[in-house]
Amino acid sequence: MKNKKVISLLLVVLFLLTLTACSTGNKSNESISTVTADNEVSSEKIKVIATLFPQYDFVKEIARDKVAVSLLLPPGVESHSYEPPPKDIVDIKKADMFIYTGKYMEPWADKIIEATKGTSITIVDTSIGVDLMDEEDHHHDHEEGEHPFEWAGAFELKKGKYTWSFSKLNGEYADPEMKMLILASDEKGLDAIEAVEEKAEELFDKTAASKKISDTLLPSEILFNLEFDADQDVTTFSVVIENDGTYVFFTEHFPIEFEADEHFFKDSKGIDVEPSAQEPEGDDDHHQGGKDPHIWLDPIFAQIMVDNIVEGLVRADVKNESFYRENGEAYKKKLQALDATFSETFNKTKHKTIMYGGHFAFGYFAKRYDLEHVSPYSGFAPNAEPTPQKIVELIKALEKSNLKTIYFEELVDPKVARVISDQTGAEMVLLHGVHNISKTELSKGISYLKIMEENLEKLKLGLGYNE
Ligand SMILES: [Zn+2]
């Protein structure tokens, strides 16, 4: 794809996003009312409050008429931006059991736990025993693992002398030395990186690095090994540019790993120089350490959630222990069958990529079935804005792959999927992330298993399933 086309595409995406910018999600202002599964609340029943739909559904399957379950989230409300009002915390204190996904999905759960100290309530964190992953882990197999460098940045530079500095953090350099390569590129922005990436990989893999200690660096096909001065808090290198143009810097580590108070790259006047594009994008998020909370979308992890709920029920109501254990096992068999169907299906689909216009919710699911999951959002929640650059990448990837489906998520205005669909002609299809359900779905008595089966059919269509 040519530069011009990418830029005009970016403008279109920006414009379309502005048009729909005012409607991010269906944040409801109405006072939070809980939905009760069983209207005849007998005093003998265990009163359970479940935060999100998966555990609401699971506990009903396991405990049936022994519990009165309430779903904390009102139907139709997007879950990531939700936090219970004080009134709900009072209700939770009166319950016998409180089930939540985990601290990365409901960071406010700590408050509940604190508020219920000294009461007899049973608290169940369903993520106990699940190996949670961060964003980097998810992408590691497919993207970052391919490059011998961690970071690439394209800079539009004028002739002159620049300085690149490496600082100690907490009294130490992130690494005592680091490989770096500077290549001139005929393109601009992300295309500049793409144009010379292959050459950079080759040079990183095949050349012995030439040692450099506080010295001058010139763009060339020489791989530098920068050695940092252990006696100084900062080691500085001069970068000399002889002609105006775009230069791509490839580094073994993220530049910000060596960034203390000062920006790492400056011109001769000491003014910060920022890259026009970088890979991976948004490396500011790189070290934030949030974990992916979407464990319920993986039928194997869903079974761990079931186990945790069973143990909680046994703690709260030991006299019905065998009832809970039997139902728990029976329900896990259904989840195993679901897992087997998914495995068989994805062995036979032509494509292995889920192009998602929603937030990154299917990471565990994709990993379980060796699929790729592409989303223009960074982070794990839909309240972060997607970057236009990433939307353009998704459009390019869709065009390249011949995929005809762009999936969108539940309970959030699918503005991103719509923009992508407009640009590519791909069909918009709902792929349900099962965070919460709508009023209509609730009245239909929909279940986790039913939603996942519907997801399966939609993925079969979108990814090309051959029987
Ligand atoms: Zn989510």
DSSP characters for 210-258? EEEES-EE-SSS--EEEE--TTSSEEEEEEEE-SSEEEEEEESS-GGGG
The tokens for 320 are 């019905």
> Is residue 231 situated within a structural domain?
yes
Are 87 and 188 contained in the same domain? no
Kindly give the distance from the C-alpha atom of residue 362 to the centroid of ligand 1, in angstroms, as a whole number.
8
Q: Is the distance from CB of 272 to CB of 263 less than 8 angstroms?
A: yes
- What pLDDT, on the 0 to 100 scale, is given for residue 21? 47
Kindly give the distance from the C-alpha atom of residue 292 to the centroid of ligand 1, in angstroms, as a whole number.
8
- Determine the Cα–Cα distance for residues 117 and 130; give it in Å rounded to an integer: 25
The tokens for 289 are 């350490």
> Is residue 373 situated within a structural domain?
yes
Are 378 and 429 contained in the same domain? yes
Are 163 and 260 contained in the same domain? yes
> Is residue 141 situated within a structural domain?
no
Are 66 and 166 contained in the same domain? no
Kindly give the distance from the C-alpha atom of residue 434 to the centroid of ligand 1, in angstroms, as a whole number.
9
Q: What is the count of structural domains for the chain? A: 3
- Determine the Cα–Cα distance for residues 99 and 315; give it in Å rounded to an integer: 13
Domain end (from 279, 305, 320)? 279
Kindly give the distance from the C-alpha atom of residue 373 to the centroid of ligand 1, in angstroms, as a whole number.
14
Are 390 and 455 contained in the same domain? yes
Are 158 and 121 contained in the same domain? no
Kindly give the distance from the C-alpha atom of residue 366 to the centroid of ligand 1, in angstroms, as a whole number.
14
- What pLDDT, on the 0 to 100 scale, is given for residue 35? 52
Q: Mean pLDDT for each 10-residue chunk of the chain (467 residues)?
A: 65 67 42 47 82 98 97 94 90 94 93 91 96 79 64 94 90 89 92 92 79 80 89 92 95 86 90 90 50 96 98 97 98 98 96 94 96 88 82 90 94 93 96 97 96 98 89
Are 82 and 8 contained in the same domain? no
Kindly give the distance from the C-alpha atom of residue 291 to the centroid of ligand 1, in angstroms, as a whole number.
11
The tokens for 182 are 């500077």
Are 359 and 332 contained in the same domain? no
Q: Is the distance from CB of 357 to CB of 409 less than 8 angstroms?
A: yes
Kindly give the distance from the C-alpha atom of residue 100 to the centroid of ligand 1, in angstroms, as a whole number.
14
Question: C-alpha angle 246/252/258, rounded to 5°?
Answer: 90
Name residues whose C-beta falls within 8 Å of residue 118's C-beta, 6 or more positions apart in sequence.
none
The whole domain housing 197 covers 148-279
Are 165 and 262 contained in the same domain? yes
State whether residue 173 is helix, strand or coil: coil
Kindly give the distance from the C-alpha atom of residue 64 to the centroid of ligand 1, in angstroms, as a whole number.
27
Kindly give the distance from the C-alpha atom of residue 364 to the centroid of ligand 1, in angstroms, as a whole number.
12
- What pLDDT, on the 0 to 100 scale, is given for residue 302? 98
> Is residue 225 situated within a structural domain?
yes
Kindly give the distance from the C-alpha atom of residue 430 to the centroid of ligand 1, in angstroms, as a whole number.
14
Are 225 and 274 contained in the same domain? yes
- What pLDDT, on the 0 to 100 scale, is given for residue 28? 43
Length of the chain equals 467
> Is residue 140 situated within a structural domain?
no
- What pLDDT, on the 0 to 100 scale, is given for residue 26? 44
Q: Is the whole-model pTM more than 0.75? A: no
Kindly give the distance from the C-alpha atom of residue 293 to the centroid of ligand 1, in angstroms, as a whole number.
7
- What pLDDT, on the 0 to 100 scale, is given for residue 362? 96
Q: Can you give the CATH number for the domain in which 373 is found? A: 3.40.50.1980
Kindly give the distance from the C-alpha atom of residue 381 to the centroid of ligand 1, in angstroms, as a whole number.
5
Kindly give the distance from the C-alpha atom of residue 147 to the centroid of ligand 1, in angstroms, as a whole number.
29
> Is residue 11 situated within a structural domain?
yes
If phi over 0 gives left and psi between -120 and 50 gives alpha, with beta otherwise, what is residue 411? left
Kindly give the distance from the C-alpha atom of residue 54 to the centroid of ligand 1, in angstroms, as a whole number.
12
> Is residue 139 situated within a structural domain?
no
Are 119 and 46 contained in the same domain? yes
- What pLDDT, on the 0 to 100 scale, is given for residue 24? 42
DSSP-derived secondary structure letter, 297: G
Are 413 and 444 contained in the same domain? yes
Kindly give the distance from the C-alpha atom of residue 386 to the centroid of ligand 1, in angstroms, as a whole number.
14
Domain end (from 279, 303, 325)? 279
